[in-house]
Amino acid sequence: MKSTFRLLIFIALPLIAALLAGAVSSHTPNTFRDLNKNGKMDVYEDASQPVEARVNDLLSQMNLEEKAGMMFINGVFINDDGTLERKPDAKGFAARLPPASDYIEGRKMNHFNYWQTPGTRAMAEGYNAMQKMAENTRLGIPVTIASDPRNYFSNNIFAMAAGSFSQWPEQLGFAAIGDEKLTRTFADMARQEYVAVGIREALHPMADLATEPRWARVSGTFGEDAKLSAQMIKAYILGFQGEQLGSQSVACMTKHFSGGGPQKEGLDPHFEFQKGQVYPGKNFNYHLIPFEAAFEVHTASIMPYYGVPTDQTSENVGFSYNKDIITKMLREKYKYDGVVCTDWGLVTDAPLGPGVVWPARAWGVEALSRAERVQKIIEAGCDQFGGENSPELVIQLVREGKVSEARIDQSIRRLLRQKFVLGLFENPYVDVEKALQTVGKPEFIKAGEVAQRRSITLLKNDKKTLPLKTGKLKIYVKNVDAKVAAQYGEVVDNPKNADIAILRLNTPWYPVQTQNPIAKGFHHGDLDFKGVEKDSILQLLNTVPTVVDIYLDRPAVIPEISAKARALTANYGASDAALLDVIFGKFKPEGKLPFELPSSMEAVRKQKEDLPYDSEKPLYRFGFGLSL
C-alpha cells in the first residue's frame, strides 16, 4: 500500500509543480499557437496575458533584422488563382512587385498593402497563404494587410477597384448627405467585408480639408468645412474600429496629418513640380480640427503627407521629416502614441521606364542619402516607412550607432501592440467560404446603392422639369448606358427627336506636362470646360431641354452649362441607375454641396489655398441643395 501511495505521489508531483509554476493554464496544448516552435507557451503566445506583457516578451526575442523588417510596409500581389509566386505571364502590379516570400522570408517584413487584387476567393486564399508563410518564420509574427478605399463607386486614381465589394459614394458623398449614422453604418459594413478577406488596416479616412478646389485629391475628403469633416471622421473611424480596437476591428490610418488640403495652385506633392503647402490666409490650425476629432475616437494610426508646411515650422522639410510636426505637435501636444506611418515612397527613387524616374518624395532633404533620409524620418518621430522595403538601412544605422536600438524599440512596441489588439496572434486566418458570403452581401450592396441616390445633389430644376415621367418621354442620352436608360423611356439616337436629353459629365482636368505617366493621370489643372468640348456641350443644351449631371471629384466651374441646363445635378460617385432613379422621381436627392462651386477660374485663382468658402460670388454656395 505504501508503495502504491508513493507511486501516486510520484505521478502527481510533476502535475502539481506545473500547476504551481503556471505552466498549465486554461489553454490546452491545442489552443495556443507555438509560434516560435519551442514546445511551450511563451507569454506572447498566451492570449490571457496583458497586451503589454506580450509585447515585452516578443520584443525581447526579436533580433535587429526582425525589428527593422517590421518598420516597412509595401505593396504585395495575389494571383488570380490565390497563389503568391510570380508567374511568367504576370501583368500589372504582379509583374513589378516582389513576391510575398521575398518580403516575409528575405526581408522579415510583415506589413503589406493591396493595390491590384483578384476575386474574393483568391484574395482570401492568398491571404491565408501569406499568413502560413509568416507562421513558419522564426517567431511566427502574423502579417497585417492594409488597403486604400475599396468600397467607392469611382474611377478616381486614388480609389481601389471595388470588384465584389459593396459600392458607395466617395467621402464627399457622405459629407453631402451629412448623416453621421449612415457614415458609421457604411464603415461598419465595409469593415465586415475587409475582415472577411483579411484586410485589417484601412489607409483611410482622409481628414484633409478641400480648401483649394484645384487639388487632385479633393474627392477623398469630406469637403472644405472643418466641423462637418470632424463629425464624419468620428463616425467613419467608429464604424471601422468600434468603440475600442479589437479582434473584429479594422485599424484606421487617418491621413494626412496635419492637413494636406492647402496645396499651392492645387498641384500635388506626389511629384517634384509641387513640394510645398502654403498658408496665405494664416489658417494652419483650421486644418487640424478633423484630426482632433480622429484623436478623440482613438484612430489607430496616422499618416503625414508629402509636402513642406512652408514657413510653419523651424525647417522647411516634408511632414514626415519634420520633427516639429511629428514629435512636438503630434506626440507632445496631442499626446498621440499610436503608429505613425509615412506616405508611400519618401526614401527611394522609382524608375518608371526608359529615362523616367519618379524621385522619392524627400522634399526639403533631397541632398540626403537614402540612409540619412531614414534616419531623419525616425528622428522626426515616425514608426513606419510606407511604400518602401529597405530594412537594411535601419540595420545599417543602428550598427553605425546613428540610431539607437532603444529608439527602434519604441516604434516596434507600437506596431506590435496593434497586431496583438487586433487578435492576429490568436487566429490570423480567414474562412474562405464565409468571405464569399460576406463580401458583396446583398444587404450591403443595397445600402450602398441607396447611399449613392441619397448623395446626389440637385442644383437647378428650372420649370420644375424634375422629376421626369417614366415611360412617356423620348430620351437622348450621352455618357449614360442606353440599356439602363431604356428602362425609363424611349431612347432615341438624335437629340432633335428627343423630348429631353440626359448628359453626364466629369469635372474637367488637364494633365501636367511631365514625363511621369502617373503624374499625367492626376486630376490637376483648371476646373472649367474649354474649346471644342465646351462648345459641343452647349450645342446639345441649345438643341433640346437637357438634364446635366456632373461628377464632382473637384469643384467644377460651369456657369454657362448651369445657365443653359434645364436641370442640374451633381454626384460624388453614383451609377447610371442611381442617377436615373432620382431624375425620374423614384428616389429623392438629399445631397448638399460639401464645397463651393466657383463662378469662374479667375475667382479660383484669387482664392487663398488654406481658407474655406472664400470664392468670390460662387455659382453655388457650400451647403446648397434643392429637394424634389
Residue 409 annotated in active site? no
**Could you say which of 42, 208, 268, 343 is catalytic?**
343
Alpha carbon distance 448, 166 (integer Å): 6
Does residue 374 sit in the same domain as residue 516? no
What cell numbers appear for 239 in the block? 464604424
Q: How do residues 577-619 score in pLDDT, each as one tens digit?
A: 999 999 999 999 999 999 999 999 999 999 999 999 999 999 9
Q: Is 372 within the bounds of a domain?
A: yes
**What confidence category does residue 139 fall into, taking pLDDT thresholds of 50, 70 and 90?**
very high
**Whether residues 427 and 483 fall in one domain:** no
What percentage of the chain exceeds 90 in pLDDT? 89
Residue 445 one-letter amino acid:
I
> Over the stretch 71-110, which tens digit does the pLDDT of each residue have?
999 999 999 999 999 988 888 888 888 899 999 999 999 9
Tens-place pLDDT, residues 275-325: 999 999 999 999 999 999 999 999 999 999 999 999 999 999 999 999 999
Q: What is the pLDDT of residues 512-524, one digit of tens each?
A: 999 999 999 999 9
Give, for 483, the enclosing helix (H) or strand (E): helix 482-485
Backbone angles phi, psi at 161, to 5 degrees: -60, 130
Q: How far is CA 64 from CA 240, 282, 377, 473, in A?
A: 33, 44, 18, 71
Residue 561 pLDDT: 98
Residue 381 has pLDDT above 70, yes or no: yes
> What digits encode the pLDDT tens for the residues 552-564?
999 999 999 999 9
pLDDT band at residue 167 using 50, 70 and 90 as cut-offs:
very high
In a domain, 19, yes or no: no
Report the number of distinct structural domains present in the chain.
2
The one-letter amino acid code at 29 reads: P
Q: Is residue 126 part of a domain?
A: yes
* Residues in Cβ contact with 383 at an 8 Å cutoff, skipping those fewer than 6 apart: 71, 339, 340, 341, 410, 411, 414, 415
Cell of 419: 497586431
**Is cis: bond before 205, omega within 30 of 0?**
yes
Answer yes or no: is pLDDT of 18 > 70.
no
**Cα–Cα distance for residue pair 395/409, rounded to 1 Å:** 13
Residue 405 located in a structural domain? yes
pLDDT for residue 376 is more than 60: yes
Q: In the prediction, which pLDDT does 577 show?
A: 97
Predicted pLDDT of residue 384: 98
Angstrom distances, CA of residue 61 to CA of 56, 104, 105, 355: 9, 18, 17, 45
Q: Give residue-wise pLDDT tens across range 194-208.
A: 999 999 999 999 999
Say if CB 113 and CB 131 are below 8 A apart: no
- The whole-number pLDDT of residue 17 equals 36
In a domain, 256, yes or no: yes
Query: Is the residue at 233 inside a domain?
Result: yes
- Clarify whether residues 401 and 459 are in a common domain: no
Domain range enclosing 425:
58-442
592 in the same domain as 518? yes
What would the grid cell of residue 100 be?
Answer: 510575398
Q: Are residues 175 and 275 in the same domain?
A: yes
Cα radius of gyration (the chain)? 27
Residue type, 70: M
Work out the percent of the chain whose per-residue pLDDT is above 70.
94
Instruction: With H, G, I as helix, E, B as strand and everything else as coil, classify residue 595.
Output: coil
Q: Which helix (H) or strand (E) holds 460?
A: strand 457-461
pLDDT, position 103: 97
Quick one: how many helices (H) and strands (E) in the chain? 22, 18
Angle between helices 442-455 and 576-583 (to 10 degrees): 50
- The pLDDT, as a whole number, for residue 54 is 98
CA distance 171 to 567: 24
pLDDT band at 21 (very low <50, low <70, confident <90, very high): very low
**Grid coordinates belonging to 110:** 510583415
> Is residue 625's pLDDT more than 90?
yes
Among 442, 472, 490, the domain-final residue is: 442
Q: Is residue 33 part of a domain?
A: no
CB 357 within 8 A of CB 351: yes
Mean pLDDT of 531-552: 98
Q: Where are the beta strands (DSSP E) in 148-250?
A: 199-202
User: In this predicted structure, what is the pLDDT of residue 162?
Assistant: 64
What pLDDT sits at residue 523?
Answer: 95
Q: Are residues 397 and 428 in the same domain?
A: yes
Torsion of CA 365, 368, 371, 372, to 10 degrees: -70
pLDDT at 436 over 90: yes
Average pLDDT in the chain: 93
pLDDT in tens, 193-242: 999 999 999 999 999 999 999 999 999 999 999 999 999 999 999 999 99
Domain identity same for 415 and 541: no
Q: Are residues 438 and 455 in the same domain?
A: no
What per-residue confidence (pLDDT) applies to 32? 87
CA 370 vs. chain centroid, Å, equals 26
Q: Are residues 247 and 313 in the same domain?
A: yes
* Same domain assignment for residues 426 and 457: no
Residue 5 or 340, more confident: 340
Do 156 and 269 fall within a single domain? yes
pLDDT, position 415: 98
Going from the C-alpha of 359 to that of each of 9, 100, 267, 272, 320, the distances in angstroms are 73, 25, 16, 7, 16
Positions of E strands within 402-523: 457-461, 474-478, 490-491, 500-506
Does residue 118 have a cis peptide bond before it, meaning omega lies within 30 degrees of 0?
no
Which helix (H) or strand (E) segment is 490 a member of?
strand 490-491
Backbone angles phi, psi at 335, to 5 degrees: 55, 35
Residues ≥6 apart with Cβ < 8 Å to 486: none
Q: Is residue 125 part of a domain?
A: yes
What per-residue confidence (pLDDT) applies to 94?
A: 80
Examine the fold and report which residue of 442, 474, 499 is the final residue of a domain before the chain moves on.
Answer: 442
- pLDDT band at residue 159 under the 50/70/90 scheme: low
Are both 120 and 149 inside the same structural domain? yes
CATH number of the domain bearing residue 111: 3.20.20.300
Whether residue 259 contacts residue 215, with contact meaning beta carbons closer than 8 Å, is answered with no
Whether residue 22 has pLDDT greater than 80: no
CATH for 600: 3.40.50.1700
Assign 157 a pLDDT band (cuts: 50, 70, 90). low
Q: What average pLDDT does range 4-14 have in this prediction?
A: 36
